[in-house]
Amino acid sequence: MNPFALVNARTIAEATRTSATVAGLMAGSGGSPASDVSIVKAGGIDLLDLMKETLLSPDRILNLREIPGLDQIAVKVDGLRIGAMATLAALAGHPFVRDHFKILAHAAAASASPQIRNVATAGGNLLQRPRCWYFRAKEFHCLKKGGDHCFADNGENRYHAVFDNDLCAIVHPSTIATVLMALGASVELVDARGMTRKVGLAEFFVSPSVDLTRENNIGNGEILTAVEVPSIRAESRCAWLKQGERDSADWPLADVAVVLDFDAEDKCARATIVLGAAAPAPRRARSAEALLVGRKIDGAVAMEAGRAALDGATPLARNSFKLPLVETLVRRAISQAAATPG
Ligand SMILES: Cc1cc2nc3c(=O)[nH]c(=O)nc-3n(C[C@H](O)[C@H](O)[C@H](O)COP(=O)(O)OP(=O)(O)OC[C@H]3O[C@@H](n4cnc5c(N)ncnc54)[C@H](O)[C@@H]3O)c2cc1C
Ligand code: SF4
């Protein structure tokens, strides 16, 4: 790792003076480490990994930890405002989040390990870069890093995407993103002119077909200041399920968040189903959602929806094992949500 200066930003305005995003730097570096730049650090878990892997060599790191208030989790009349610097542990342990946004607390608590959750922040988690091992190894100058080849295509692709994987088969690495997307959350971004924009997560995450080199549309000099989550409707019932190779300290092989609304006859009036670790961005399972609306949910309907969640799947040579995993998680999450008291 190269020597670097660590500078504490005291205000958001100071932080927005940083020159570039990590994605921009890595794509522009032609495969060699970028130099003479500053980059922002939240918990530093992913940033330092990239530096240790010598994929990134900034001269200055701008620490966001000292900016007052950026780690606050605030309860609002219309939902929740999660400061970008709130840690996953704070999110998982917040009494209001545990009572009123149970699936979010659950997903935060099931991410990584206790030590990592104590440091990793909500903002950094949404902005972490993918875990594809070719991407993480400097020997492989793949498409995502500006090269001309996807090594996962004919390589070791067991942990890769089963949807939207024709150009680049990463899966989105954020576990809380699956739940936040199902809850209709958005991010707040502030730029160097002090302008604020609010972007729904569905628009924030970027598919490889839109831009291969990045996973989201945060701009140069922009700081993610908060995640806003609307209140969950009284008639909504929710579930989040994850399957990993082991129970802790690892990313899911697949996860799914389900939010169902029911009418007076106990028929499904609205359904949102989001698949995690399945595609380059958290993915709405639209066919499964459509199949539920207007119907009472029983085991057979949940099973049909599980199968429908696989519509459009294009598994790679080594990851078709994910399909029954996704199908089962969707079926179980629907049944679990439907059985939750409204
Ligand atoms: C063993 C292990 C297991 C893990 N398991 C999981 C898991 O199950 N689920 C999961 O979701 N994650 C998992 N992770 C990943 C970990 O949770 C993330 O690396 C962490 O959440 C990143 O957050 P951070 O605050 O440390 O971000 P940092 O590393 O500080 O930053 C990440 C990126 O975001 C940028 N950035 C950070 N904050 C801001 C901001 N506010 N505005 C603008 N840019 C910003 C930084 O420049 C950097 O590019 C695991 C990690 C390890 C090592
Ligand atoms: S899946 Fe994406 S990140 Fe991985 S090797 Fe292929 S192009 Fe690179």
Q: Kindly report the protein residue whose alpha carbon is nearest to atom 5 of ligand 1.
A: 112
**Do 37 and 60 meet the contact criterion of CB atoms below 8 Å apart?**
yes
Q: Which of 50, 65, 80 is the last residue of a domain?
A: 65
Strands 268-276, 283-284: pairing is antiparallel
Contact predicate 278/326, CB 8 Å: yes
* Mutation choice for ligand 2 from 55, 151, 166, 213, CB with most ligand atoms inside 8 A: 151
Say yes or no to pLDDT of 302 above 60: yes
Interval between CA 159 and ligand 2 midpoint (Å): 12
- For residues 60-64, average pLDDT: 93
Counting from 1 in the atom list of ligand 2, the atom nearest the Cα of 169 is 1
pLDDT confidence tier of residue 17, bands split at 50, 70 and 90: confident
Question: Which pLDDT score, from 0 to 100, does residue 235 have?
Answer: 87
Instruction: Return the pLDDT at 250.
Output: 87
Angle of helix 102-109 relative to helix 175-182, nearest 10 degrees, comes to 170
pTM, rounded to two decimals: 0.97
Query: CB within 6 Å of ligand 2 — which residues?
Result: 130, 132, 134-135, 142-144, 150-152, 160, 168-170
pLDDT tens string 133-154 = 999 999 999 999 999 999 999 9
Name the residue with higher pLDDT: 28 or 49.
Answer: 49
For 159-170, what is the mean pLDDT? 98
Q: Is residue 30 part of a domain?
A: yes
Contact yes or no for 150/142 (Cβ under 8 A): yes
The answer to the question of residue 180 being in a domain is no
DSSP string, 1-28: ----EEEE--SHHHHTT----HHHHHHH
> In the listed set 16, 41, 65, which residue is the last one of a domain according to the structure?
65
Total tally of structural domains belonging to the chain: 2
Q: Considering the domain boundaries, does residue 304 fall inside one?
A: yes
Phi and psi torsions of 278, nearest 5° = -120, -20
Amino acid at 35: S
Q: What is the position in ligand 2's atom list of the atom closest to the CA of 167? A: 7
Please report the pLDDT score of residue 120 as a whole number: 98
Domain-embedded: residue 268: yes
User: What per-residue confidence (pLDDT) applies to 31?
Assistant: 42
Nearest Cα to Cα of residue 162 among 303, 330, 341: 330
Instruction: Give the per-residue pLDDT at 12.
Output: 93
In a domain, 297, yes or no: yes
So what's the pLDDT on residue 36? Answer: 55
Atom of ligand 1 lying closest to residue 117 CA? 17
**252 in a domain, yes or no?**
yes
Calculate the alpha carbon distances from 255 to 26, 115, 122, 263, 325 in Å: 28, 22, 18, 27, 9
Is 102 part of any domain?
A: no
Is the CB–ligand 1 distance for residue 23 below 6 Å? no
pLDDT of amino acid 294: 98
- Confirm or reject: Cβ of 16 under 6 Å from ligand 1: no
Mean pLDDT score, 91-98: 98
pLDDT at 21: 79
Range of the domain at 325: 236-339
For residue 254, the domain's CATH number is 3.30.390.50
Tokens of 165: 């994987």
**Is 103 within the bounds of a domain?**
no
Residue owning the nearest CA to atom 47 of ligand 1: 40
* pLDDT average, residue stretch 6-32: 77
* Residue 20's pLDDT band (cuts 50, 70, 90): low
pLDDT the model gives residue 246: 87
Residue 111 pLDDT: 97
Confidence of residue 19 (pLDDT cuts 50, 70, 90): low
Q: Which of 49, 65, 81 is the last residue of a domain?
A: 65
